[in-house]
Amino acid sequence: MMRRNSMTHQVKLDHLTLQSTLADLPSHDFLVGPRVLGSVVAARFEAEPELPGVVIRAGERLVGAFSRRQFLEKVGKLYGIEVYLNRPVAIMVKNIGPRHIALQSTQTIQSAAEMVLRSPANFFEDALIVVFPDGHVALIDVRVLILAQSHLLGLVTEIEQQRRQLAESMQRIGRELSGSLELGQVTKRILKELNKVLSYERGLVMLADGEHLKTIAKRGFPKDIKKHDLLIPIRDDEDDVFRRIVESREPIWLDDVTGDESWTQRDDLPVNYSWLGVPLKHQGRVMGMLSLTREERAGFSEDDVRLVQAFGSQAAVALENARLYDEITHLNNHLEEMVSQRTLELNKAYEILERLDKNKSDFISVAAHELRTPITVMSGYAQILETLPVIQGDVNNKMMVGGINTGIKRMHRIINSMLDIARLDSDTMKIHAEPLLLPLLLGKVGMELTKGMAGERRVALDFSAVDDSLSAVLADPDLMQKLFHGLLVNAIKYTPDGGEVRVAARETAVDDEPFVEVCIADTGIGIPPESLELIFEKFYQTGEVALHSSGFMKFKGGGPGLGLAIAKGIVAAHGGKIWAESAGYDEERLPGSAFYVRLPIS
């Protein structure tokens, strides 16, 4: 190594950190009194090439300081030897003037270097002195200070770079870990990914489970040691490592486990001297820990701990996500099970209902058939009875037999309705379809009712909105008569005396299919919205059962609740649609109802 450069080359800077002060830099002592001759200083400079300058002190008083360069420059001048070498240094101090830079030893290298670089004087020429707290004064080579500063700048960049690299790999690990949601996979992956950034002998992911730490993933263990063998009790002892981790929520590491009393070493595992435990935290709560070992003593550095700590927070998030996912999957499975169980029950109930409905239909059919015979007999005899002179000749007798006949007729109607329903239920309703002009049919039904029920109840029937030029529909005339008769009777029945029923009929098209649409609108009591569909079910009445004994023609006079079910069956059998509209049920405001029937033209 060349002597000239030795000064700066030999300077050791590796020990410096960002917090280092001037006291950590090499300094030089060269103090002389003011009366010392310049030649003495020159000789010393000659002997010690590292000396950056000289301090001149009179007792405790600092007279001045000058750098090697300033000194040599003065001496090298014409008469320099004459003026300076052979005379006291005080003369040189006087000529150069007080130009040195004084710094405190406690100042950081960074701030000192900044100060020197910012000072207006030519700092490379001026002497740099450090004052220690005890008053001691030393010289520092300005080049060493600058070198130290640039070394620290490099350190900063390196730290920055390390930080960025760590952040990047943590990000990548975070992605890797959250890529999988299955708890078993996530835990295995944690140890695998960790091994990529930090080597270790044995690793465990453990979760707190009551009074134990349960192992959910292991790495580096012999195959015959199973996860459930690695169950660690959390001891009721403040020295217990996990308890310490939970309480401090900070990592703990042991440089030599054999020296730790709270450590239990398994006989079936080789001793790994260093141990590191890092808490896995979720929302501030410690849910488990990462446990790592290394074979050598003091195997984990502070940097390693920080790295594992950063990794642990990523792992904790991934674990928590996987746990939630697990929970949801469980819940889903449970829900699915419950749904299929309920579906099964519903299906069973539905089957039972279907059977019951079938029983009811069978009963209706049987009862209707059974009742028809005796009623026909009764009807025959009653009609004969009516013609007998004994009856004809007596007003009371005539009235009584008349009553019997009306009753029989009403029973007949009910039995016929029951038979219709039975046929609809068993799909045995026969349709004898022929081209039918609805305006004619509606007119005939209307006329009949005006003469009878509508007239009696003073309910006006208005057919003016029936389009007479309507196309013919292909339909069974008897069934159509039954349908519209039923709807008109209902309209009159549920409209108070003096009301009005308006019938409209027009051609329309739905999805290019031509239909005839008939609307029967009344000014009656209306229908509650919740009943608009239910009224088409058989035996459904919104009215009170108590009114059923009242006359068939009467306002709100009850029926068996079969009329609209039959109407729906007839319309369906013709490929049409029936529905009701109403603003609601109100016997005072009388919102009215409208029944629509749509029948295909072709």
Q: How far is the CB of 536 from ligand ADP (least distance, A)?
A: 7
Q: Based on CB atoms, which residue is closest to ligand ADP, 307 or 487?
A: 487
Q: Based on CB atoms, which residue is closest to ligand ADP, 152 or 594?
A: 594
- Structural element, H or E, at residue 372: helix 302-387
Residue 454 as a binder of ligand ADP (CB under 6 A): the answer is: no
Residue 559 as a binder of ligand ADP (CB under 6 A): the answer is: yes
Candidate ranges 73-81, 302-310, 317-325, 537-545; the one touching ligand ADP (CB under 6 A): 537-545
Alpha-carbon distance 275 to 265, whole Å? Answer: 11
Burial degree of 486 (CB within 10 A; 0-12, 13-18, 19+): buried
Residue 38 as a binder of ligand ADP (CB under 6 A): the answer is: no
CA distances from 78 to 42, 84, 502 (A): 17, 11, 137
Q: How far is the CB of 351 from ligand ADP (least distance, A)?
A: 27
3-state SS assignment for residue 576 = coil
Q: How far is the CB of 560 from ligand ADP (least distance, A)?
A: 5
Judged by CB under 6 A, which of 88, 563, 569, 576 binds ligand ADP? 563
Residue 540 as a binder of ligand ADP (CB under 6 A): the answer is: yes
Neighbours of 574 (CB within 10 A): 21
Burial degree of 493 (CB within 10 A; 0-12, 13-18, 19+): buried
Q: Based on CB atoms, which residue is closest to ligand ADP, 274 or 593?
A: 593
Residue 569 as a binder of ligand ADP (CB under 6 A): the answer is: no
Judged by CB under 6 A, which of 220, 542, 581, 591 binds ligand ADP? 542
Specify whether the CB–CB gap between 519 and 578 falls below 8 A: no
Specify whether the CB–CB gap between 162 and 168 falls below 8 A: no
Residue 491 as a binder of ligand ADP (CB under 6 A): the answer is: yes
Candidate ranges 19-27, 46-54, 124-132, 535-543; the one touching ligand ADP (CB under 6 A): 535-543
Contacting ligand ADP within 574-593 (CB under 6 A): 593
577 DSSP β-pair partners: 598
Residue 322 as a binder of ligand ADP (CB under 6 A): the answer is: no
Q: Assign 3-state DSSP to the chain and report helix, strand, coil percentages, each to 5.
A: 50, 20, 30
Alpha-carbon distance 11 to 1, whole Å? Answer: 13
Shortest CA distance to 147 belongs to which of 182, 172, 181, 117?
A: 117
Residue 499 as a binder of ligand ADP (CB under 6 A): the answer is: no
Residue 521 as a binder of ligand ADP (CB under 6 A): the answer is: no
Alpha-carbon distance 537 to 561, whole Å? Answer: 8
Q: Where are the beta strands (DSSP E) in 324-375?
A: none
Residue 600 as a binder of ligand ADP (CB under 6 A): the answer is: no
Residue 488 as a binder of ligand ADP (CB under 6 A): the answer is: no
Q: How far is the CB of 323 from ligand ADP (least distance, A)?
A: 58
3-state SS assignment for residue 502 = strand
Q: Based on CB atoms, which residue is closest to ligand ADP, 123 or 585?
A: 585
Binding site for ligand ADP (CB under 6 A): 490-491, 494, 522, 524-525, 527, 535, 540-543, 558-565, 593
